Structure 1
Amino acid sequence: MVNIQDLFDDAKCYTTIRDMRWPDGVACPHCSSASVIKDGRDDTEPHRQRYQCRGCGRRFDDLTDTIFAGHHQPLRTWIACLYLMGLNLSGLQIAQELEVNKDDARAMIRQLREGIIARRPPVALEGEVECDEVYVVAGHKGHPEAVKKKAGPPAAGA
């Protein structure tokens, strides 16, 4: 059996995150300064680059202030989860494919969905908007007779 996580390369995952996060070069997530120097690698994830900001002096890494930060699952697991979500697999199926606890898989899916929604640009309508008449029968699933019976006979003098 092939483990899907083995198909994802750690180095490529981190390179992709860097390219998507900082298309114009690394910038400090705390003060937005572009005056940043590399400051070694993470002890547990050797492809995770650390940086130090010359503007504010704070340290950060590739995942600081992202939905991937502060979790025990490696980045390739998160990327695999995102891929499997795109295939429309259930949370239980994703947990089985990633060989993680179902509660961990559900938490990862929730966080990824929230992150996607947070990055979605707001919808702005412009120009002329048209709307046709709408007939809504609430709670009677398309049975207008039930609405008439419930209302009873018209009141006298109305």
Structure 2
Amino acid sequence: MSLSSLVTLSSLIDDAKCYELVRQHRWPEGVRCPHCDSASVTRHGHDDTQRHRQRYRCKQCQSRFDDLTGTVLAGRHQPLRVWLLCLYFLGLNLSNRQIAHELDLNEDDVQVMAEQVRSGLVAKMPAVRLEGTVEADEVYVVAGHKGNPAAVAKKTGLGGAVA
């Protein structure tokens, strides 16, 4: 009998430490309002269903928020510890099947979680801005005509054929 059949890995992770980790990485200089970026914030209780999830109130704009507001993790049904383990396993380049097995989840759920994490990371990336001299090699792409490049040649006038 394997250890994984006795205990799920996610049950070994402490919820309080997971939320503390999120706070440390999200606000290394102290909590800031995700709506107006003010540092004038007070603690305002805890989430009813997740006692380690801290709530806050902004003194500047009066908005309420919590540790996960405005993140890809907000409003998700899996516990934060499962999300952090999934993120860790994605960083190890494990397959969705392996992650599902380790976390005792459905593969489809892991696929959705991975897509949400990736889309959240892409959304936070700054726009690429090219400056100075930019070089690019020429590229010819045959797309949309699987196995039939002659059809592309006719439409573009390449290869001596005219449409």
TM over 0.5: yes
The match for 1:53 is 58
Q: How many residues align?
A: 147
Tell me by how many angstroms 1:101 deviates: 2.2
- Deviations along 1:67-119, whole A, 9 cap, x unmatched? 11111111010011111111222222222211122222111111001011112
- After TM superposition, the structure 1 = structure 2 runs for residues 15-26 of structure 1, keeping only pairs within 5 Å, are 15-26=20-31
The separation in 1 between residues aligned to 2:56 and 2:118, in whole angstroms, is 28
Q: Letter of the aligned partner of 1:92 in structure 2?
A: R
Task: Decide which structure has the larger Cα Rg and report it.
Answer: 1
The separation in 1 between residues aligned to 2:20 and 2:117, in whole angstroms, is 19
Distance 1:28 1:154, change over 3 A: closer
Aligned counterpart in structure 1 of residue 95 of structure 2, from 79, 86, 90:
90
- After TM superposition, the structure 1 = structure 2 runs for residues 34-73 of structure 1, keeping only pairs within 5 Å, are 34-73=39-78
Structure 2: stretches of 5+ with no match in the other structure: 148-152
The separation in 2 between residues aligned to 1:154 and 1:68, in whole angstroms, is 55
The match for 1:99 is 104
2:116 aligned counterpart, secondary structure: helix
Q: Is 1:79 equivalent to 2:84 in the alignment?
A: yes
The separation in 2 between residues aligned to 1:124 and 1:37, in whole angstroms, is 38
Percent identity between matched residues is 55
What TM-score, normalized by structure 2, do the two folds share? Answer: 0.74
Q: Letter of the aligned partner of 1:31 in structure 2?
A: C
Tell me by how many angstroms 1:51 deviates: 0.9
1:64 aligned counterpart, secondary structure: coil
Distance 1:34 1:92, change over 3 A: same
Tell me by how many angstroms 1:140 deviates: 9.8
- Deviations along 1:38-75, whole A, 9 cap, x unmatched? 11222222211111122222221101111111111110
Structure 1: stretches of 5+ with no match in the other structure: 142-146
Distance 1:129 1:99, change over 3 A: same
Q: Letter of the aligned partner of 1:73 in structure 2?
A: Q
The separation in 1 between residues aligned to 2:79 and 2:92, in whole angstroms, is 21
